[in-house]
């Protein structure tokens, strides 16, 4: 199932409304902390709009939010809600959280560095670098097609419902086995002809990184991206289900058969099920620092960086719809291109249960935004309204 990105969130925000009640687990809070802010320098003109966008937490849709604004208009950071609804601890703005699919941008950066160094070729094939991984009947799939989601590889096919996922939250998944589960099914489309956003291609890229370097994926991300960019609070979680250091806790709303609902704490979760497509832990400050370094060409060399700002000219994979109504692709090699009003933004979103995050910026970094929202339904196909409000306020003219 195709994830809804920040495009869909921005479009639907006007029609969204915040639910009026909390589940019983969160409603017992005697206080309702309002957004707090720490001003680093000149305050951007849209800071107050952001403050209003994330006011009123905790609520039925989210328990906390951390936001950072930057660019030519100045810098601002703010928080809202409770980092832990049991203790009612307010977030300070430097708490760690699960980055989800923002991990893909880090994976893409490593692959593009390796391409620049001549250690792999972007027009090289999966069959060349990982012989035997894909079925013999599959067509050749290029590294570049994995990067921009045009490979046609089927998704892993694991159950997507929360109950199954929650029951397996401490499972340590073998990365090759996850790929094998996927490729036991037919290709979705001819490589290079359509775009389908999914995790499978980036997990294959993780395997390719290990094959061509002879080192672990986690070490390559650390040595090539995390440490050079000075990201002191970012790391690959591996099989550790915990989040190290101070962090926001994540919650998922679970409905019972009688219509009632409760919040389930989903903070502890083994992220090997996502690995190179979604296992990073980070902070908003680190993501701000990373995106600034990335866009300035300090993470990926500028010749390869162009691919991160290039959307392939293909339609979105639409197996059930009318081909005449196909959407145009929006994802690049590691980023997503979005129009928020008249502003063109490049960035990446990521969601794991309990955590819904994103970073985005204009290509010249005149406008930047990073957010982490502890959504109580982070994997829903319906966008969380507070996230939409934050994005709209962050890039409004």
At residue 16, the pLDDT reads 33
Put the strands of the sheet holding 280-282 in their side by side order. Answer: 97-98, 280-282, 235-236
- What's the distance, CA 104 to chain centroid? 7
Instruction: Specify whether domain 6-395 bears CATH 3.20.20.80.
Output: no
52-106 pLDDT, tens per residue?
Answer: 999 999 999 999 999 999 999 999 999 999 999 999 999 999 999 999 999 999 9
Does the pTM of the predicted model rise above 0.75?
Answer: yes
Residues in the chain: 397
Ranges under pLDDT 70 in the chain: 1-40, 322-325
For residue 96, the 8-state DSSP code is B
At residue 324, the pLDDT reads 61
27-52 pLDDT, tens per residue?
Answer: 333 333 455 554 447 999 999 999 99
At residue 77, the pLDDT reads 97
* 217 token code pair: 């994926």
At residue 323, the pLDDT reads 65
Q: What DSSP letter does each residue of 290-354 carry, written as one string?
A: HHHHHHTTSSS-HHHHGGGG---S-BBP-TTS-GGGPPBP-B-SS-EEEEETTEEEEEEEEEETT
Evaluate whether 145 touches 122 at the Cβ level (below 8 Å). Answer: no
At residue 374, the pLDDT reads 98
Q: Cis ω on the peptide bond leading into residue 87 (within 30° of 0)?
A: no
Domain locations in the chain as residue ranges: 6-395
| Cα distance between residue 207 and residue 155, in whole Å | 16
Distances, alpha carbon 155 to alpha carbons 46, 185, 247, 280, in Å = 39, 9, 31, 20
């Amino acid at each position: 199932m195709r994830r809804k990105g920040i495009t869909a969130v921005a479009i639907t925000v006007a029609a969204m409304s915040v639910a009026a009640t909390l589940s019983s687990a969160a409603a017992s809070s005697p206080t309702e902390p309002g957004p707090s802010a720490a001003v680093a320098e000149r305050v951007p003109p849209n800071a107050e709009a952001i403050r209003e966008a994330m006011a009123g937490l905790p609520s039925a849709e989210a328990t906390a939010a951390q936001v950072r604004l930057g660019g030519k208009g100045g810098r601002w950071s703010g928080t809202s809600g409770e980092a832990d609804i049991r203790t009612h601890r307010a977030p300070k703005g430097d708490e760690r959280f699960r980055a989800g699919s923002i991990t893909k941008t880090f994976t893409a950066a490593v692959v593009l560095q390796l391409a620049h160094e001549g250690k792999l070729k972007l027009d090289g094939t999966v069959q060349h670098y990982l012989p035997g991984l894909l079925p013999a009947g599959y067509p050749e799939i290029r590294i570049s097609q994995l990067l921009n989601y045009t490979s046609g590889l089927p998704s892993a096919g694991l159950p997507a419902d929360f109950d199954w996922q929650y029951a397996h939250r401490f499972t340590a998944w073998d990365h090759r086995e996850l790929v094998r589960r996927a490729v036991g099914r037919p290709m979705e489309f001819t490589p290079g002809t359509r775009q389908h956003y999914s995790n499978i291609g980036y997990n294959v890229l993780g395997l390719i990184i290990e094959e061509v370097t002879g080192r672990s994926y986690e070490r390559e991300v650390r040595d090539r991206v995390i440490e050079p960019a000075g990201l002191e609070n970012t790391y690959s979680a591996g099989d550790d289900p915990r989040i190290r250091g101070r962090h926001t806790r994540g919650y998922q709303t679970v409905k019972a058969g009688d219509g009632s609902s409760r919040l389930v704490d989903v903070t502890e979760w083994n992220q090997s099920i996502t690995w190179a497509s979604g296992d990073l832990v980070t902070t908003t400050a680190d993501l701000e620092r990373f995106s600034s370094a990335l866009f300035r060409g300090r993470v990926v060399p500028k010749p390869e960086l162009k691919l991160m700002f290039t959307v392939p000219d293909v339609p979105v994979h639409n197996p059930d719809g009318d081909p005449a109504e196909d959407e145009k692709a929006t994802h690049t090699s590691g980023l997503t291109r979005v129009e928020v009003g008249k502003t063109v933004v490049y960035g990446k979103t990521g969601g794991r249960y309990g955590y819904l995050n994103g970073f985005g910026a204009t290509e010249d970094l005149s406008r930047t935004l990073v957010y982490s929202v502890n959504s109580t339904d982070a994997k829903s196909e319906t966008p969380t309204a507070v996230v939409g409000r934050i994005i709209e306020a962050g890039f409004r003219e």
